[in-house]
Amino acid sequence: MPALSPIQITLLIVGVLLATLILGGLLAILMAWLTREVQAAYGQAPATTAKAPAPAMPAETAAAPAAPSQRIGPWPFVISGLALLVVLAVIFYPMPQPQTASPETSSGGSPASSTPSPQPVAAALSGNPEKGKELFLGTCASCHGPDAKGLPGLGKDLTTSAFVKQQTDAQLLEFIKKGRPATDPANTTGVDMPPKGGNPALTDQDLADIIAFIRTFNPHQP
C-alpha cells in the first residue's frame, strides 16, 4: 500500500464519516419504514370468511391496541460503520507483489558471476615536465632529493628505478595516488610513502606533470 500524505488521510477519514452517516441514515429510514409496516400489519383485525355481520364488540375491546413504537437506536450507524471498515480493509489490504527475476541470474537461469570485473586503469594524462619539475621540488624532493637520486633512509633513486621504468604513466599515477605503507611487503625501504607524496592538494593533472618530469630521465620501458 503506498504511503498516504496527511491531507489524503484527513480526506479519507472525512469520507468514511460522511459515508457512515449517509448509510446510517438510509438504514434508519428503512428500519423505520419496516417498523411502521409491521405495526400496521399487527394492528389490523383478521378478515372473516362468514357473511353474517360480526357480533358487536364491547367498546373497551372494539379497538385493537396499537403496537408500541420501537426505537431504532444507534444500530444502523454501527452496522454502516462496520460495513465501511470491511470495505476499506479489502481495498487497502496490501496485495502480494509478483516476484520478478533476480538481476543476479542470467537469461539462461544460472547465477551470474558476482566477481567484480577489474577496474581499468585511468587513462594517462598529458603532462607538462616543466610544471612537473616545480611540483616535484615542492613535494617529492623531500624524500627523493632535488635531483631525484634519493636520500639515505628515505626515498629511492628514481633515475635508475626499475619499478618506475616498468610502470606505464597511468599505472604510475595510480601508484602515487595510493602510496605504499611501510607494512607493504613490496616496500623495501621501511619508510611510508604517503598518498600523493603527503600533499593531498595535488590533482591528477599535477601528478601527470610530475610523471612527465620523471620520464625525462627514466622513460617507460616495458
Distance CA 172, CA 153 (A): 22
Assess whether pLDDT exceeds 60 at residue 113: no
Cell readout for 66 is 396499537
Q: What is the mean pLDDT of the chain?
A: 74
Does the structure show a pLDDT above 80 at 216? yes
- What residues does CATH 1.10.760.10 cover in the chain? 129-214
The pLDDT, as a whole number, for residue 95 is 52
Segment among 30-39, 78-87, 117-126, 188-197 with least mean pLDDT? 117-126
Burial 182-204 (b: 16+ CB within 10 A, else e): eeeeeeeeebebebbbeeeebeb
CATH class, 129-214 region: mainly alpha
CA distance 26 to 125: 82
pTM metric for this prediction: 0.45
pLDDT above 90 as % of the chain: 21
pLDDT at 104 over 50: no
